[in-house]
Structure 1
């Protein structure tokens, strides 16, 4: 089997556009037989969809796959499903809600992302859990459905927060998991702006509330992995609550969907080793991508990704905001400053990985490897 190229796009046909709520839809994409291995994905990965803009730059947006992942010993998927929440002023989400129809063809990047769970690697009788908010349910739906189907001994607890019942995505799919796995799937729903007839009282799921709630739901210390996904505030609060409850960070996995409220908290970080380039010094980046390397100058104020894109249009990226992690690369030599990082976990940055879209050279020579 030939591995999919980094950043490779292919045209996929839209099979169905399903309205989930007033402000969200699910797109189902057909994968032709010759591309099924390239679109084989792990539960929790995402797709980047691309649209050319008339008279301007193309628009790329990343959406998590909500459909279950294919079995490792079976064929690749014949279809993929993603959820798209309408964002105010969002160019691609508005396009998805108002224009995309069955039969349309979309440019879709091969799956990427490391917010994943491998059912085959799960320990015996493993217990997993997730805390999600809003559209953060999308990758976790794939994770939970894949795990429960592949491992009859596994359990999964989902704590989800939404504004109202009417705004809750994938209600039927989550209800189906409850029906299929009543003894192994636990669901706790909290509505922040609407009272429920049964269950927990309304309100935000903040750090204080989660610190008290989670131990009442399950044995926190015995959970093999926690998956936190959604807005920045929810993910950060849930992470702090879990650490306060004694959960080691290697068991906590985070993916942030909305970072507008996080920009002010993102402090630049230096990664690598070496003496910073002096004033006026010209930096050069050497990048390895799909087995080929090149060296190019980095213009003043330019990110490593933009420098590479001027010479390699196939360099992988999506959001350019430090959120999706599509442009993740290994820093081979040199030192860089990352403006923002909402995608890489501590273990990744400590191992030497950086986000090329947020990285600026601090040394005259920098080498990165997209193939690691």
Structure 2
């Protein structure tokens, strides 16, 4: 069997566009038998979608929200798409995309995953951050009868809550092993938590009242930058080890995120890069990222957001030193192991080598 190429897209046909809320849809793609191995995914992974409009290429990543059920690979892929103001792909998905249309899809990627195993797990999610966690929890509970999961989710209102029925079904199916806590920021509930955001202060007080924090084997944080950072600080303050905290950021507000640090690049630098078993060496132009250098010479380089969020362009730094503008995708352990985001990396040394295959 041929290895899956990193940046390759394949056309998949849309079989369903389901309205979840006023501003969210679930899109399902059919995976033909010959591509089921290519699109095999772990619970929590995402796919990149591509379309061309007005001569420009648009790429966006969306998490797979369906459980892993077939050991031979999926017959379909389902993702949740929330409408973003000014978002070119999300607007297309909401207003134009229909059953029978064909969309270019990259093979699944991402390390925000939980391979099913016994234990106690928990997640703090906000808004569309539920999508990868829905795949994680539904797969875990179905495959591991000894596993338990606590989901703390924050949304604006009940009507804006994605996958409301799917989460309720999990609660009905696994009443003794699945704990659900819903917080609404703009609407009071008849029962449950009072209205308010899940910020660091609130989570610091709430989490120990819900479950034994130090007995949780893995915490999964997903959603906007502010929520994920607040949840991480709360857990760290409660004594949770960093290696038990996993996070994925869906949206970064530039007003709240750290500003990029300008990279001090040498006058002349060259990049050697290995991708899908082939290597090349090219000069790095002034101001461009290492991903841009590769793309000038290899159109199949893997990327999606180019904002340091999705992690699709992760590569191993073989030699040399680079400076990253931003990083919202790599865990501290990955950084320590030598991985960088090519879309955010600029050379510090005159000779730099990246390996996309590791």
Provide TM-score, normalisation by structure 2. Answer: 0.98
Task: Report Cα offsets for 1:200-247 as digits up to 9, x if no partner.
Answer: 000011101100100111110010000000001100000000000100
SS in 2 for 1:52: strand
1:82 is matched with: 79
Aligned Cα root-mean-square deviation (Å): 1.3
1:239 aligns with 2:232: yes
| Cα deviation digits, residues 63-116 of structure 1 (max 9, x gap) | 000001235xx2110001000000000000000000000000000000000000
Equivalents in 1 of 2:69, 2:183: separation in Å? 31
Q: Is the contact between residue 162 and residue 192 of structure 1 (CA under 8 Å) also seen in structure 2?
A: yes
For the pair 1:306 / 2:292, whether they are aligned, the reply is yes
CA distance in 2 between counterparts of 1:260 and 1:325 reads 17
1:2-41 matches, cutoff 5 A: 2-41=2-41
Q: How far did residue 264 of structure 1 move?
A: 4.4
Distance 1:129 1:25 in 2: 25
2:278 aligned residue (292, 310, 334): 292
How many angstroms does 1:277 deviate by? Answer: 5.6
Tell me which residue corresponds to 2:242. 249
Q: 2: CA distance between counterparts of 1:321 and 1:37?
A: 29
Matches within 5 A, 1:1-372: 1-55=1-55, 57-71=56-70, 74-119=71-116, 122=117, 124=118, 126-261=119-254, 264-268=257-261, 278=266, 281-372=267-358
Distance 1:129 1:144, change over 3 A: same
User: 2-side partners of 1:199 and 1:78: how far apart?
Assistant: 38
Give the whole-Å Cα distance in 2 for the aligned partners of 1:292 and 1:261: 36
In the TM superposition, what whole-angstrom CA distance separates every residue of 1:23-69 from its partner, at most 9, and x where no partner exists? 000000000000000000000000100001223x2000000000012
Secondary structure of the 2:53 match is coil
Alpha-carbon deviation of 1:262?
A: 5.6
Q: 1:266 and 1:250, CA in 2 relative to 1: closer, same or farther beyond 3 A? A: farther
- Distance, in Å, in 1 between the alignment partners of 2:335 and 2:211 is 31
The answer for unaligned runs of 5 or more in structure 2 is none
TM-score (norm 1): 0.94
Question: C-alpha displacement at 1:4, in angstroms?
Answer: 1.5
Question: In structure 1, what is the Cα distance between the partners aligned to 2:265 and 2:61?
Answer: 34
Structure 2: how far apart are the matches of 1:336 and 1:69?
Answer: 37
Give the Å deviation of 1:282. Answer: 1.3
Which secondary structure does the structure 2 equivalent of 1:92 belong to?
helix
Supply the distance in 2 between the matched residues of 1:134 and 1:104 (Cα, whole angstroms): 27
Secondary structure of 1:265 counterpart = coil
Spell out structure 1 runs of 4+ moving beyond 2 A: 261-264, 266-270
- Structure 1 unaligned spans of 5+: 271-275
Q: Is the 8 A contact 1:232 1:261 kept in 2?
A: no
Checking the alignment, whether the CA contact within 8 Å between 1:233 and 1:261 is kept in structure 2 is no
Aligned length: 358
